[in-house]
Structure 1
């Protein structure tokens, strides 16, 4: 019989008597199975009432105290030997197949974002004065006062492709003093409860305003009932998954969606000449390998200037760099169906390379990494699990033409360019659809200060109250 472990976090005020189990789908022979606790059909209103009561206590906390609590929790998690992190690492590796080192590197990147300095930076960038979350503050432009009010309850529907990603929704909601109803993904359901357990040790008021739950994605009734308890909804996932959530959003609810996006890299000849082929390849290997290329911010393709041997030469150097990265941080173990799909993509890419005079194909002896060349973006054999395509382009203008077809989905660009060429390409890419441009090697480590998918992380959740034209409130 398999061992069953609960992936839910339940605050101190919520008893388990009215909750029912929802088992995460897995093979019958899996030694450890996971389940979440959720209300029965008639119990969602009571859960929502409890979260709204908990939010009143959260609302009374100064935003500085919330920042300190999040910073202290992430400081604990920065230690790879911290017990909650050790347990999370084991569970995440078991549910995703990531190697333990790949899990650790993912958590380092994700949770390194939520330290006090960074949180204050995003608060100032989006709100001006973080104090507007604590009460009315002077607003000279208004000649009055203004107050930022967060949702009473934010519901977040998580995806399971990136270890640690649920922390982003938790942080976003708690910073604006909103209680959180967090639905974890079947692909990786374990992290959120471990993290919230740590948060409870640091600041119980925050953790008491969080419920971590799970239901099968096909359970439309559970989704509908959960949405009715929220003032704001955040959805991550594939286009069909986001569409299912969007269909249940009610009039007047704030809705923020992070659906399927595509990221790429660009290398000009001048950039490679300046930094050197080996260093650029090392940086690109990191872009591709962090999160095992499962995150939307990870590149599936690098466009390399020079239609001659330059792109092929770079692809060979990238293969060496990918092998070096994998030696320290292996991919892990893929589920059988994912391993079969990767082998099929590899076979298709190898066949295409063999029948092209400029084609190239490099792979690890196992499944740890794959590098291919392709004549254009549409010929790249998919992405994920550290399989990257290298596409030659004649020059910078060809970059924009090549990317035009994916412009509406374009998210993150690792732009290896210098001088005026950098600024011209950056402007063109922004018009095309890109919402983040970084240097190669930094694609996989965006800050929370970045406007995710081109949207503010915090301000979209807020409602503002202004006092103007009143003698009591003039500045």
Structure 2
């Protein structure tokens, strides 16, 4: 199947003859070139055959491939994706803006930033950081601290349940499984059912022996419980992304003994200390970095900020900094406008603005809407004197709240402890390190500078967990008496 054909058939199911498909699913409200994206309505028997083919191909090729060979393959694929004329990249840039609503500029920036992470040195560092030895998936290796030798083994089959909030994210999950020599079966997201298939095919193009090691398709949520049950039961690991309801539903159906890595809804935020507000130049620099954090993919990532806490006592007040943020978001929006919103999202933003506008008229000192509709690239900045941790409706909607002391954030996080993830800190090093320890104890799993929130390192501990280590099991050789 070519990149052009993927405008119509975005599925990848090794061994499945389209002539044997009795019925098809089409993704609601998603089309390319005015044609709907269609996916086979799999029978239980057809899925079993696909999964049999995946596990057999894994045994024939992946088990014998070395980690270094797989890293070289991923690195070479990454390099091709950074070429805008590469057919699979060109297909992504043609299709993704249409189905996601993001502008081409945003899709291009996001793919460049994200796929650049998967270079050879970064992948080697990831394996070494988590497993301790680059060759430990290939052979038994001496343990460094205690006697004996160990070897890590990845899952034979990993099922991925993707989310559609940010294009390109399936690459992380597929690459993690590939590094562990695992075949992959992916359930695509209705909001973005294309990239995973494009990326898998680009890997296969460089290494045809991978052709039966990847499968991706889509079905409506809840429409194929028997298919999901088979996929979960046949897998040794399941990686799922989504909202709390979806994650809970999947967790209830994972058989005992299957590794389950859920990545659910998260809340991220920033804290700006008074030392960053010593003059307008410094404050504007921080506002520019914060605007990037808000605008990239319109806050749809779990790492994107819902709100910023700004410490009082600097030369620039929290309210004034909020105005600087509004100005920087307007500037960002002129070059990279907000994406097209679904009707429900558009209604949510409009309702949020109306509510803030009304309440601000009652107490303008405590609440202020600082951006005007259609004049700022779609951004909404609200100054709110109430320090309560409040999630926004996203889509470049962000709150700015004052704090007397940055350290007061710890108490404010308690009601949302289960959901907090990334905290961007603009504090001097001593204050940052002191607060970081308290934030970690309060549930925060990633602490970064302003301007880096949407761009975590490849080896970050996603939601406080390992990317590879949580998926492997270990075999040990203990040295005994000689024969």
Q: 1:21·1:35 contact (CA, 8 Å) conserved in 2?
A: yes
**For the residues of structure 2 that align with 1:379 and 1:467, how far apart are their CA atoms?**
51
- In the other structure, the counterpart of 1:43 is 46
Residue 214 (structure 1) aligned with residue 218 (structure 2) = yes
**The one of 230, 235, 246 aligned to 1:230:** 235
Q: 2:389·2:412 contact (CA, 8 Å) conserved in 1?
A: no
Larger CA deviation: 22-31 vs 197-206: 22-31
How far 1:278 moved relative to its partner?
1.1
- In the other structure, the counterpart of 2:257 is 252
Q: 1:150·1:177 contact (CA, 8 Å) conserved in 2?
A: yes
**For 1:433, what is the secondary structure of its paired residue?**
coil
How far 1:326 moved relative to its partner?
1.0
Q: 2:267·2:391 contact (CA, 8 Å) conserved in 1?
A: no
Alignment: residue pair count: 470
**For 1:363, what is the secondary structure of its paired residue?**
coil
Cα distance, 1:307–1:388 mapped onto 2, change above 3 Å: farther
Q: 1:38·1:213 contact (CA, 8 Å) conserved in 2?
A: no
Cα distance, 1:471–1:32 mapped onto 2, change above 3 Å: farther
**The one of 278, 284, 288 aligned to 2:290:** 284
Residue 360 (structure 1) aligned with residue 368 (structure 2) = yes
**For the residues of structure 1 that align with 2:210 and 2:115, how far apart are their CA atoms?**
17
How far 1:312 moved relative to its partner?
0.8
Residue 316 (structure 1) aligned with residue 323 (structure 2) = yes
- In the other structure, the counterpart of 1:305 is 311
**The one of 292, 300, 308 aligned to 1:294:** 300
**For the residues of structure 2 that align with 1:343 and 1:163, how far apart are their CA atoms?**
25
Residue 331 (structure 1) aligned with residue 335 (structure 2) = no
- In the other structure, the counterpart of 2:350 is 343
How far 1:140 moved relative to its partner?
4.1
- TM-score by structure 1 length? 0.94
**For the residues of structure 2 that align with 1:237 and 1:194, how far apart are their CA atoms?**
21
- In the other structure, the counterpart of 1:387 is 397
**For 1:43, what is the secondary structure of its paired residue?**
helix
Larger CA deviation: 250-259 vs 222-231: 222-231
**For 1:317, what is the secondary structure of its paired residue?**
helix
- In the other structure, the counterpart of 2:3 is none
- In the other structure, the counterpart of 2:413 is 403
- TM-score by structure 2 length? 0.92
Cα distance, 1:122–1:471 mapped onto 2, change above 3 Å: farther
Q: 1:408·1:433 contact (CA, 8 Å) conserved in 2?
A: yes
**The one of 99, 108, 113 aligned to 2:112:** 108
How far 1:376 moved relative to its partner?
3.0
- In the other structure, the counterpart of 2:141 is 137
How far 1:160 moved relative to its partner?
0.5
**For 2:24, what is the secondary structure of its paired residue?**
strand
**For the residues of structure 2 that align with 1:258 and 1:251, how far apart are their CA atoms?**
19
**For the residues of structure 2 that align with 1:38 and 1:142, how far apart are their CA atoms?**
52
**Alignment RMSD, CA only?**
2.2
- In the other structure, the counterpart of 2:245 is 240
Cα distance, 1:125–1:471 mapped onto 2, change above 3 Å: farther
Q: 1:374·1:380 contact (CA, 8 Å) conserved in 2?
A: no
1:318-343 Cα offsets, whole Å, 9 max, x none, are 01110111111111211222212211
**For the residues of structure 2 that align with 1:103 and 1:416, how far apart are their CA atoms?**
28
**For the residues of structure 1 that align with 2:480 and 2:372, how far apart are their CA atoms?**
70
**For 2:265, what is the secondary structure of its paired residue?**
coil
Cα distance, 1:205–1:375 mapped onto 2, change above 3 Å: farther
1:204-230 Cα offsets, whole Å, 9 max, x none, are 233431101111112223221221221
Q: Any gaps of 5 or more consecutive residues in structure 2?
A: 1-5
- In the other structure, the counterpart of 2:429 is 419
**For the residues of structure 2 that align with 1:192 and 1:453, how far apart are their CA atoms?**
22
Larger CA deviation: 462-471 vs 253-262: 462-471
Q: Any gaps of 5 or more consecutive residues in structure 1?
A: none
List aligned pairs for 1:131-210, cutoff 5 A: 131-210=135-214
**For the residues of structure 1 that align with 2:235 and 2:410, how far apart are their CA atoms?**
41
